[in-house]
Amino acid sequence: MDSYNKVEYLEKKAKELRKTIIDMIYHAQSGHPGGSLSIADIVTALYFDELNIDPKNPKWEERDRVILSKGHVCPAIYGALAMKEYFPYEEIYTLRKINSRLQGHPDMKKTPGLDMTTGSLGQGLSVGVGMAIAAKFDKKPYRTFVILGDGELQEGQVWEAAMSAAKYKLDNLIAFVDVNNLQVDGCCDDIMSVKPIVPKWKDFGWEVFEIDGHNMEAIVKTLEEIKNVKGKPICIVMNTIKGKGVSYMEGVCKWHGQAPNTEEYNIAIEEIMR
């Protein structure tokens, strides 16, 4: 695919993913739409282009790993896995229900295609460091991608992990920070500011890229560029909008962890597919 067609294809897939996310959360009447929608574009670029994975063989040893450190937004990953046929698409309607393989937060033992169990914020990057060290030790080419929230950066463990990744020169470890400026209780800047974010990661010894997390062209280009980085872990700081794609959710704190009602659901789907 040439790069123009690729971007167009990924943008189309991102729409489908957003629709799947809303469908899932609406049917569960529970879950976290805001932060799922803000990472929909990067998740699409990873699963539909960048990752070296095989849906028929989810435990393939050479596969790229993805850790959703901000585990509450698992509908975004479940949606991508369903679209990639890791499991039957209809299973998305079992989200958060009893006897389901799709838990409220990611469970690697239950859901095919998940590489790590998460949901308690701040723990994912350390696990990514472990996977990346193992890849180096085993001389395997796979990479480990970790998705973090901006509120999540308030957890001290994130910075302990950041130090260790730099110490071990883990250029096979990529952290995405979803800077949607919101957490549960309000704006990150009001609750406990983590800014400036880019210099923090630079000071911790990472190679840092800052992009518009909803610009597919920029995402694709950056995912190419990072392949040239040697000897340092890579951090991609993505400026995003929480709830992106659904006008009444965009930048509105209460949509962190609330499901839409029927009327809201219809509006959301109409806007996403427009």
Q: Residue 3 interacts with ligand TPP (CB under 6 A)?
A: no
In angstroms, rounded to a whole number, what is the distance separating the alpha carbons of residues 114 and 147?
A: 13
Cβ-contact 38, 246 below 8 angstroms = no
Residue list 171-230, contact with other proteins (CB under 8 A) = 183-185, 188, 191-192
3-28 and 74-83 are packed helices; what angle lies between their axes, rounded to 10 degrees? 120
Give least dist CB 79 to other proteins, A. Answer: 17
Residue list 114-143, contact with ligand TPP (CB under 6 A) = 119-122
Residue 58 binds which entry of ligand TPP, Mg ion, other proteins, none, with Cβ cut-offs from 5 to 8 Å by kind?
A: none
What are the two backbone dihedrals, phi and then psi, of residue 211, each rounded to the nearest 5 degrees? -135, 165
Residue 70 binds which entry of other proteins, Mg ion, ligand TPP, none, with Cβ cut-offs from 5 to 8 Å by kind?
A: ligand TPP
Contacts of residue 46, defined as CB under 8 A and 6 or more positions apart, other chains included, come to 66, 80, 145
Q: Residue 103 interacts with other proteins (CB under 8 A)?
A: yes
Q: Which is nearer to ligand TPP, 163 or 192 (CB)?
A: 192
Q: How far is CA 202 from the centre of its chain?
A: 21
Residue 139 binds which entry of ligand TPP, other proteins, Mg ion, none, with Cβ cut-offs from 5 to 8 Å by kind?
A: none
Give least dist CB 62 to other proteins, A. Answer: 29
Residue list 209-268, contact with ligand TPP (CB under 6 A) = 242, 256
Give me the long-range contacts of 48-54 (CB less than 8 A, separation at least 24). Answer: 48/9, 48/10, 48/13, 48/80, 48/83, 48/84, 49/6, 49/10, 49/220, 49/223, 50/223, 51/145, 52/142, 52/143, 53/84, 53/113
Residue 136 binds which entry of other proteins, ligand TPP, Mg ion, none, with Cβ cut-offs from 5 to 8 Å by kind?
A: none
Q: Residue 182 interacts with ligand TPP (CB under 6 A)?
A: yes
Cis peptide leading into 33, omega within 30 of 0? no
262-273 and 3-28 are packed helices; what angle lies between their axes, rounded to 10 degrees? 170
Give least dist CB 80 to ligand TPP, A. Answer: 16
By the criterion CB under 5 A, which residues form the site for Mg ion?
149-151, 180, 182
By the criterion CB under 8 A, which residues form the site for other proteins?
28, 30, 71, 96-100, 102-105, 107, 117-122, 151-152, 154-156, 183-185, 188, 191-192
